[in-house]
Amino acid sequence: MDRTMIEDALFPDCPIRNILARLCDKWSLLVIYTLNKADKDTVRFKELQREIPDISQKMPTVTLRTLEDDGYVTRTVYPEVPPRVEYALTPRAYSLLPHINALIEWALKNKDSIMADRKRSLKTP
């Protein structure tokens, strides 16, 4: 299935499933969060990759393209040798940040009990 075109079979005109599938994949929220926490307005590709050490070589490119396609990130290419490419969040991404921050806050508050529940479920046959 094409990752970029997910539709709900019962409600094909409802954008929620499509938007959440792309936004809530393994890396998108982390990339948005990382671009935001940078001390500057733009971030170069290698800087982003260094900030997320467990991301593969391919996934930052795929994730940034998807985020750019959906209007969360802008990509600026400077005609230099070697080419310089910078990424920045768009107003749409900035409007999403309070929700991401609330989710992070919730996860921090509930992390211990969630981890305890996971451990308990592993012990249960």
- Residue extents of the structural domains in the chain: 16-123
Q: What is the pTM of this model?
A: 0.81
Question: Residue 69 corresponds to which amino acid?
Answer: D
Q: What secondary structure letter does DSSP report for 27? A: S
**pLDDT tens per residue across span 36-53:** 987 788 999 989 999 998
- Which pLDDT score is estimated for 115? 94
Q: What is the pLDDT of residue 1?
A: 39
**Tens-digit pLDDT profile for residues 75-98:** 999 999 988 899 999 999 999 999
Residues comprising the chain, all counted: 125
51 close to 34: Cβ distance less than 8 angstroms? yes
pLDDT over 70 for what percent of the chain?
88
Provide the greatest CA pair distance for the chain.
Answer: 60
- Reply yes or no on whether the pLDDT at 109 is more than 70: yes
Neighbour-count burial of 75, counting CB atoms closer than 10 A to its CB (0-12 exposed, 13-18 middle, 19+ buried): middle
- Which CATH code fits 16-123? 1.10.10.10
Positions of E strands within the chain: 43-44, 73-78, 84-89
